[in-house]
Amino acid sequence: MIIRIFIILLGCFLTDCVHAQLDSNKTFELSKGKWRMPIDNLNKISLPNNGDKGLTISCSFSNSIIFISNQPSEVYSVADGKVAAVFTIGDIKAVIIKYGDYYLIYSDLEECYVNKNDLVLANTKIGRLSKGFDDTYELEFLVAFKYKEIESIEDWFNPDLIKYYSEEQRELMKKASPLR
C-alpha cells in the first residue's frame, strides 16, 4: 500500500505541460474498452474491492487488478505513453507509464525492459513477471488520474476480460448488474 501511494505521488510530480495533457487525456480516454491483457498465459484475475458491484475479492485499499498466470510471462503496455519512472524496491520492480494526466502502474516485475523517458506503444514488452511465493506469477496493475486511483479499471480492458473471471466473480457481476 505504501509503495503504491509513493509511486502514484511521484508519478504525479513528473507532470509536464497542462494544456498538452488535456488533449492527451481525451485521446487516452478513447482507448477505453480496447486494452489488451497485459500478460500472456493469463489464468485468472483478482478484481479490486468494488462494493457497488458486490465484489470483495482483493485488498479493500486498492483499485488494482491482479493478473495471475501459472507460468512465466512477459508484461505488455496496454496503451501508448511515456515511461515516467522505473522503480526497484527490494527484488521487485515497477514501471509507471504516463499519458496526459493518466498513470499506468505495473508492479511485481522481475525485470524491466524500459527506462525512464522511453516512449512505448500499446503491446510493447515492458518487463517480465517475477515468481510469487505460491509458484504463480502475478502482475498488479493500477491506473491513476492525477492523484487519484481509478475505480472499475476492468472497464478499460477488452470485453474478453470477463472470460478470466472466476465463476464466483461472474455470479456476483450478474447479481450486481443485470445488464452485463
Could you report the per-residue pLDDT of 36-71, keeping only the tens digit for each? 889 988 888 887 654 444 443 444 347 788 999 999
Interior/surface letters 86-104, b for 16+ CB within 10 angstroms, e for the rest? bbeeeeebbbbbbbbbbbb
Output the average pLDDT for the chain: 77
Range in 1-5, 21-25, 44-48 the model is least confident about: 1-5
Amino acid 135: pLDDT: 86
Amino acid 152: pLDDT: 76
CATH code for the structural domain at 2-176: 2.70.70.10
Residue 165 has pLDDT above 70, yes or no: no
Q: What are the sequence ranges of the domains in the chain?
A: 2-176
More confidently predicted of 135 and 98: 98
Amino acid 31: pLDDT: 83
Amino acid 86: pLDDT: 96
Question: Distance between CA 52 and CA 110 in Å, rounded?
Answer: 34
More confidently predicted of 106 and 157: 106
Amino acid 112: pLDDT: 95
End-to-end CA distance of the chain: 31
- Write out the chain in H/E/C secondary structure: CHHHHHHHHHHHHCCCCHHHHHHHHHHHHCCCCCECCCECCEEEEECCCEHHHCECCCCCCCCCEEEEECCCCEEECCCCEEEEEEEEECCEEEEEEEECCEEEEEEEEEEECCCCCCEECCCCEEEEECECCCCCEEEEEEEEECCEECCCHHHHECHHHHHHCCHHHHHHHHHHCCCC
User: Once rounded to an integer, what is the mean pLDDT over residues 94-115?
Assistant: 94
